[in-house]
A and B are shown apart, each in its own frame.
Chain A
Amino acid sequence: MLLKKTLFERIPSQWRLATMLALFVGTSIALTLVLVRSTVSRDLRRFDSAIILDELMEYAAIYAANGLQGVRDIFPAGQSSESHGLRITSANGQTLFESVPEDMQVFDWPKTVPEQDWETRKTHLQNITSPKTELELTVGAYKLRDGHLLWFGRTDAVAQLYQQNITLYLWLAGILAAAVAMLPVIWYSHEVLTPIRAFTASARRLHLPEGTARLMTPRAIPELKTLASVVNAGLDQILSLTRELQSTNDQLAHELRTPLARIRGNLETLLDKSDNAEAQDAAARSLEEIDRAAQLVQTILTVRAGDHGALRLYRQPTPVHQLIQNLVELFTPAAEDRQLTLDIVQGLDVVLNIDRELINQAISNLLDNALAYTPKGGRVTLRWQAEGTGAIIFVEDTGLGVHPEEVEMIWERYNRGSAAIARHPGIGLGLSLVRAIATAHGGSAGVANRSSKGARFWINLPQGS
């Protein structure tokens, strides 16, 4: 059942619509056929019975007036049809007169009438079938005044011909109706489906940075046009908000960095000109703080832009193995100083279209974390694997791991794991930055504790467009 449902859902909608219309038309035709045929068949049967009764009366009158000879003379002249037959039998079933066309001789004509009160009913009708033909014979009997029986038979040949014709015309009408019923399908696929496909095509470009792509609806139905204009208005608003955020970010960067630059310059002069060791030390430490503050401003602005999809990316085709190799070379001396082993598990060569510097920064943050939280003698491993057309990059360590309750919390701005607070001062933006960068690339970032020991951080990066 489930399989059938998913199969049906996979069928393109115009085929679904066509199937439904075909079912509808087919059912209508079938119902009409059944109803019309049964009605017509009943009416024709009545009509046949009426003819038989008429004829019986007529020949009874002729018999009454002119006797058997009269009937014998008149019947052949009066009947042109091959579907009428006349017999006169005596009360004990002996045939006195018979005029039955060849086609009707296949039927086993009755000899007698079942017991009947001829006073209340003057005629008797019975239907006779024969295995030799599909036709049905209706025979009427009339008891003549001399006690003989007058039989008049008529087959339903004409009635069946009528029915066949009616069936044929109904089929023709049905086929025509089915053809007309396909018009909505054609309309639907032209006016609804084609614009929806154009929608999808343009929607695919919406996530691009500075998304100026809009839903295009050249020949769509009014409802879709309305939808497109509503969506486009929303996108315009998002774009203008994004631009506003970017420009406030630029403004903020300028407002915050310029005074830092002024202070930095003056501190450098102080460091150069002072002969006092204590003053020099203070100036040197302040310079380090200024650089940290500048980096923090940059991180905050990047996280802020990344969280709102306003981070401008400079995507370049980047081989993942090369990017990771470079980072490992950069961090190896520092890792060795801490008596840690830093190694790479080589994955397949993957080339991703990413902002190289931001991804470098994200992985550096994870490495920085891993180096800080892995005890001496531990191991930090970088590996990656292809995931769809993108890749997942893992940074694994042999440290204490992440407390299960903090697995999500540590990614939030300014939140740090309990292990971090004890050991490193400062605010926790490192992992927020990692996540913001991953999100800006359309990917994600997360952490899980390894079954053995330590944590496994990962960044999932889809292939950029």
Chain B
Amino acid sequence: MHLLLVEDDPELGRQMTSWMARAGHSLQWVECGQAALDWLSQESCDAAILDVGLPDIDGFTIVETLRSQGVLVPVLFLTARAGVPDRVRGLAAGGDDYLTKPFAAEELLARLDALHRRATHTQPTKRRVGNSFLDPVKRRITCGQETVELQPREWTLLEVLMNHEGRIMPKQFLLEQVWDIHFDPGTNVVDAMICRLRRKLESAGSDLRIETIRGKGYAFEKDPV
């Protein structure tokens, strides 16, 4: 992906530049709102990462300006404000997603993926993954003779993990995607759900695997045969 980053904090800018490079994205980094508007009037990108608290023009205003000019680039806000009203304001201004500092590199990447995917989103259909046959209508996984049925949330969790195959999904991202929860509920709810999903997959003899990566999150992978 070709990305634009608008961030006035040099440390965060430097970190994100290196993460994006490692993830294989090209990144243009500018430090103020006016520079972002100037750059976008000349160039285009697949998505823009916008800090809300910028020294000259705030992120919300930048997006409002862009949208009024007919620029439809997907926008992800970065902000220190975590309240729902702030998030709603960001989305109302024309933003597409909202990420609160501090955040995990994987979370940013997963969200950018999701933003990019949204345009080319297709309905999940019956399909074979590894040795497992997936039926999204009946939420059923079949491996040979063994069949296991998943609860709606378990299925959504598996879909989100599979959609970002090979990427590490932070706990907070999964909470938001699967349960629409934007805070840490305390109890290890995600871990418990992952364990249950894992047990169900194993009981059916599926080679679909969900790895726990300490300090980072979870990743979906097919068992190497």
A-side residues, CB < 8 A to B, are 250, 253-254, 256-258, 260-266, 268-269, 271, 280-281, 283-288, 290-292, 294-295, 298, 302, 312-314, 326, 329-331, 333-334, 336-337, 355, 357-358, 360-361, 364-365, 367-368, 371-372, 430
B100 touches A333 (CB 8 A): no
B182 at the interface (CB under 8 A from A): yes
Closest to B101 in A: A261
A337 touches B192 (CB 8 A): yes
Q: How far is the CA of A361 from the CA of B82 in the complex (A)?
A: 13
B214 touches A312 (CB 8 A): no
Q: How far is the CA of A337 from the CA of B187 in the complex (A)?
A: 11
B39 at the interface (CB under 8 A from A): no
- Pick the contact of A283: B81, B192, B215 (CB < 8 A): B215
B-side residues, CB < 8 A to A, are 9, 11-12, 15-16, 18-19, 53, 80-85, 88, 100-105, 151, 153, 172, 179-189, 191-193, 195-196, 214-216
B102 touches A261 (CB 8 A): yes
B195 touches A257 (CB 8 A): no
B192 touches A333 (CB 8 A): yes
Question: What residues of chain B lie closer than 8 Å to A258, measured between beta carbons?
Answer: 9, 12, 80, 101
Closest to A266 in B: B15
Q: How far is the CA of A116 from the CA of B192 in the complex (A)?
A: 125
What are the 10 A-B residue pairs with the smallest beta carbon separation, nearest first?
Answer: A284-B215, A368-B186, A265-B15, A261-B102, A333-B192, A334-B192, A261-B101, A257-B80, A264-B102, A254-B80
The minimal Cβ–Cβ distance linking A301 to chain B, given in whole angstroms, is: 8
Q: How far is the CA of A430 from the CA of B185 in the complex (A)?
A: 10
A257 touches B216 (CB 8 A): no
The minimal Cβ–Cβ distance linking B98 to chain A, given in whole angstroms, is: 12
Question: What residues of chain B lie closer than 8 Å to A257, measured between beta carbons?
Answer: 80, 100-102
Question: What residues of chain B lie closer than 8 Å to A294, measured between beta carbons?
Answer: 100-102
Closest to A360 in B: B181
A333 touches B193 (CB 8 A): yes
Closest to B183 in A: A361
Question: What residues of chain A lie closer than 8 Å to B101, measured between beta carbons?
Answer: 257-258, 260-261, 294
19 A-B pairs within 8 Å (CB atoms) are namely A254-B81, A258-B12, A261-B12, A261-B101, A261-B103, A263-B102, A264-B104, A265-B12, A265-B102, A266-B15, A284-B214, A294-B100, A294-B102, A312-B83, A314-B88, A334-B193, A337-B192, A357-B183, A360-B183
Question: What residues of chain B lie closer than 8 Å to A355, measured between beta carbons?
Answer: 84
Question: What residues of chain A lie closer than 8 Å to B196, measured between beta carbons?
Answer: 333, 336
Question: What residues of chain B lie closer than 8 Å to A372, measured between beta carbons?
Answer: 187
Closest to A313 in B: B85
B215 touches A334 (CB 8 A): no
A262 touches B12 (CB 8 A): yes
Query: Which interface residue of A285, A314, A333 has the most chain B CB atoms within 10 A?
Result: A333
B189 touches A295 (CB 8 A): no
A290 touches B195 (CB 8 A): no
B84 touches A358 (CB 8 A): yes
The minimal Cβ–Cβ distance linking A110 to chain B, given in whole angstroms, is: 104
Question: What residues of chain B lie closer than 8 Å to A430, measured between beta carbons?
Answer: 186
B183 touches A298 (CB 8 A): yes
Contacts A314-B88, A361-B183: A265 and B105 contacting too (C-beta < 8 A)? yes
